[in-house]
Structure 1
């Protein structure tokens, strides 16, 4: 008896020693071949703010110095429904991971039952001793347990893959959060741009109406013609036609922000209807280094987690080729009379190992392994594609930011010259040296340049938001929601 127990102990110690090994390849963090510096504007370029290779600000929205924007960002991060869906999916992945991890531990079950039974007289032996001549009661209950010895690390690889999938779900949530923050900032900037353009349009409308009244007065004095009055009236109507689409655009953007904050339509109208300046970015925009991109962008981190899960899944597939050893046992009581149930003589027990090894499966295991290896190759390519795409996205965002700033500088000059031109042509018209058509032409040019300048002012800030988004910043410090 002692020799038997010693042999069992040695076998178990050896089995637990083997559990330190895991089949399949070990995951290694992939290298990201990124550049040393981002592209920067030339020193002589007319830009109002420049990118610098310093640590990126986590709360980048505060760099716009707009309390309304910062408030909307925080509220969107706390209440956005897309973000809540992503958080729910994260909890699902964590629950799935707990389910997989449970395979590493023994399972213990308890059960009890009663049956009234009669066996056949002509069948096999009747264990009740009644030879099938009468029915009998059977009371039984107890505990049973089972535990698969993870000798080859198959279960550990399953847990490793589940951990990686949880990480991927976390990065997916970070990606949704980053997109929500950027969309909130973009909609707010567009709203302020639409309101500014609407204000400029109304200012020009007031000027056009005063000009119309002046021409009517001049017509009464015999100085102007009916043609000039008609042209002035047409100018008023043309500018008035610009107002409704801008009002509609304002209402749509307020609704868009309300939806991002999980609020009903026009819920933010009282808060956002007052005209405010378009938020402008800082003089110096910290963008970090390209080598930090793989640590900041949620899509890159998610692609890395999916590659990790695919690599661990190869080990799971390889583990299915190896034998499985399961320790099982049960202990309980069984009696024909309820009064005997629970007595020492009614005890039952059984324990021992079970061994199974795949011998022939028609190629199913081999096919599964090849599938997992192909999926791992696809995940590796996807990771490379994601990194390269992110690098291109940042470079494009930098170029767009710089180009929009140069456009903005040119439009500022255009508006300044248009104002001087309008002042000059109005004086010439009053002196009678030019006709009213010249005034209309210059007025239209000024209105077009002012609208383009407002659009470009918003465009610079929108390009900056796109740059922050492409750099993957902001989600680290945002509230979890």
Structure 2
């Protein structure tokens, strides 16, 4: 055995010298975390101060228990969210699937050989071996593969948050649209009753000779017009109910929620807490996805660069061998080095491509941050504008209703005509629709503003978290 090691010593020595010569050739690309010079506050909120965003359950400010329960149900049963969670499992598996630098491979075989006519008779050979191989990695290639795979796990996790945020956005908007269309249906039924009342008054005045046949026909036409607007609204309401069921992971008609009960358009009762621009780095899943994608792209540069250098490995095999009646020990051991091709330029091209991909990822991160800032500013302006519009719309409805009551009284006394009453009825009908739409837009802009700052993306991320427990409790209550 000593003789064997003496014969191997020069080879091993040369091999170790080669390794030491390459240890300093690390191919790892340094990663500098991207930086963005955020302002101290949003432009639309110049006096904003740093605030810790704790409004993960911001939709509760809409004060609607049914909406709370629907979101809780969707977070548990939505299929797209379940698919996103499976992608995290896939990414973890890919991380664990990064091959190690060494391996042990046991093998065994038995062969029987017979040369007919040779006179030697059959012979049997049996052998078993344990093979070992170790790939030296002085360049840190495997480390960078692990870093890139780990970053993709974080990307997949952030994509779950993004899917959750999109789900909350879609469910909230669908519910707001449902209540809006139900409110329109209520208004149409109220308008239908009011216009029928006007028809009765017009017919009475016509019988008394106080109005014309034209006015009576006109009021009847308004009744027919209102009746034609009701069926499309009913169809739209059913369509939105189906959308809500699918978002919650249920087939249409099997959701188990009473969505036809107390119809009230949800309205925010608190101003949104939008914090400061730098909060976006923590709250917005798309920014976290972009940053981790950039990190993975930088790690891939080192992986590609390692292919420009020789690959060093140390391998061997040892095991017993039996041939006929003779037994022995068979082994081999030695280093190997593989140099890159002298004619193949593709490894250098791949390194250049990885550099380009990293630069693209960095620019994508900056673009994502800018888009996020734009989203918050636009959503903030839209929310402020819709809040002012809804207040004006409420005042308009109140004044038109007062004018309608005064006109109806004047018609009875003969100081106003049926045409005047019809005009006030039309004004009220239009003002009611405008108000319902403004309330709807106020709710949607409140949702959009919270979504744009990433609030709620971590809700229900862990089943045992206090937030998840609170959502589950809301679902039980409703």
TM over 0.5: yes
Aligned to 1:27: 31
Aligned to 2:51: 54
TM-score by length of 1: 0.88
How far apart are residue 52 of structure 1 and its match? 7.9
Q: Deviations over 1:61-96 (max 9, x none)?
A: 222222111111111111111111111222112111
2:436 is the counterpart of 1:454: yes
Q: Deviations over 1:84-129 (max 9, x none)?
A: 11112221121111111x324x2222222223346899xxxxxxxx
2:33 is the counterpart of 1:36: no
How far apart are residue 171 of structure 1 and its match? 1.2
8 A Cα contact 1:112 1:141, kept in partner = yes
Cα distance 1:369–1:415, how it changes in 2: closer, same or farther (>3 A)?
Answer: same
Map 1:247-396 to 2 at 5 A.
Answer: 247-268=234-255, 271-337=258-324, 345-396=327-378
How far apart are residue 347 of structure 1 and its match? 2.7
8 A Cα contact 1:77 1:479, kept in partner = no
**Cα separation, 2, equivalents of 1:92 and 1:389:** 29
TM-score by length of 2: 0.88
**Cα separation, 1, equivalents of 2:375 and 2:191:** 39
Map 1:7-406 to 2 at 5 A.
Answer: 22-40=26-44, 54-56=51-53, 57-100=55-98, 102-104=99-101, 106-117=102-113, 136-268=123-255, 271-337=258-324, 345-406=327-388
How many residues are treated as equivalent by the alignment?
458
8 A Cα contact 1:78 1:480, kept in partner = no
**Cα separation, 2, equivalents of 1:359 and 1:17:** 20
How far apart are residue 360 of structure 1 and its match? 0.9
**Cα separation, 1, equivalents of 2:195 and 2:255:** 33
Over 6 Å off, 4+ runs: 2-7, 9-14, 16-21
8 A Cα contact 1:254 1:268, kept in partner = no
**Cα separation, 2, equivalents of 1:277 and 1:359:** 73
For the residue of structure 2 that corresponds to 1:369, the secondary structure is: helix
Q: Deviations over 1:164-188 (max 9, x none)?
A: 1111111112111110111111111
Gaps of 5+ in 1: 44-50, 122-129
For the residue of structure 1 that corresponds to 2:100, the secondary structure is: helix
Gaps of 5+ in 2: 464-478
* RMSD of Structure 2 on Structure 1 (CA): 2.8
2:406 is the counterpart of 1:424: yes
**Cα separation, 2, equivalents of 1:275 and 1:249:** 18
For the residue of structure 2 that corresponds to 1:333, the secondary structure is: strand
Cα distance 1:18–1:363, how it changes in 2: closer, same or farther (>3 A)?
Answer: closer
8 A Cα contact 1:154 1:320, kept in partner = no
How far apart are residue 308 of structure 1 and its match? 0.5
How far apart are residue 27 of structure 1 and its match? 1.4
How far apart are residue 39 of structure 1 and its match? 3.5
